[in-house]
Structure 1
Amino acid sequence: MVESRFDKQTECLTIKIRGRFDYSCHKSFKDAFTTLEMAKSYEVDLAEVTYLDSSALGMLLLLRDHVGGEKATISLTKANDAVIDILKIANFHRLFDITG
C-alpha cells in the first residue's frame, strides 16, 4: 500500500509504503509523485516495508529521474536493516540519502 502527503510549508512530498514494495505497488507509487506539482524534496518512508525486490529499486530510480536526477533531494527513511542491506548492495547509498 502506498500513501503520499505533501507538506506545503516545507514543500516535501512524503511517500509511505506499507507491506511488500514490489511491482504490485507500481501504479500507486508512480501516481504518488506524478499527480502533484514538483516538490523541493522527497521522502520515501520505508518503516513498514516487509519486502523489497528489483522492481522496487526500479521505481525508486523512476522517482529520481522524474524529479531531476542528480539534482533531486530524495531521502529513503526509517528502513530496517534488511532493506538497508539490499539498498547498499544495489549501491543506492550513492544515489539517495538512506537512514534507518
Structure 2
Amino acid sequence: MPIKSTISEDNKTLTIAIEGRLDVSRHKAFGDAYAGKVENVDKVILDLVDLEYIDSSGLGMMLMLREKAIASKAEVEIINTSPGVLKIFKMTNYNKLFKIIE
C-alpha cells in the first residue's frame, strides 16, 4: 500500500508511511491516512523511508497535515528521509517547519 497509517498501542502516536510518490495523485490517500486520527494523538510521524519523489502538491499536503496537528496540539516528526528529499526540505525551509530526525 503506497500510504499506510498505524496507531501505536498506547494510542498516542500516528505513523504515516509513504511509499513511492507524494504528488497530486495521492491527495485523497494522504488525507485519508490522518482524517479523524490526528485529533486524538500526541504525535504524528511521517516515515519517508520509501518515498522516492515529492512535488509542490506533496509539500502542500504535508503543510495541511501540520496545520491539523497544530490545531490538535500534536507534534509532527519526519523520519527516514532520503538525501534527495532532505535537500528539497532544506531548499523550501521545511526543515524549519518540521522536526526532521536524520
Does TM-score exceed 0.5, indicating one fold?
yes
**What is the identity percentage for the equivalent residue pairs of Structure 1 and Structure 2?**
36
Consecutive unaligned residues of structure 2, counting only runs of 5 or more, are none
The unaligned stretches of length 5 or more in structure 1 are none
Q: Which residue of 1 aligns with 2:26?
A: 25
1:5 aligns with 2:9: no
Contact (CA 8 Å) 2:19, 2:50: kept in 1 or not?
yes
Residues 38, 67 of structure 1: 8 Å contact kept: no
Give the Cα–Cα distance (whole angstroms) in 2 for the partners of residues 90 and 8 of structure 1: 34
Deviates more, 1:3-12 or 1:42-51: 3-12
Q: Report deviation, 1:76.
A: 0.8
Taking structure 2 as the reference length, the TM-score comes to 0.89
- Provide TM-score, normalisation by structure 1: 0.91
* Aligned pairs, number: 99
Aligned to 2:75: 73
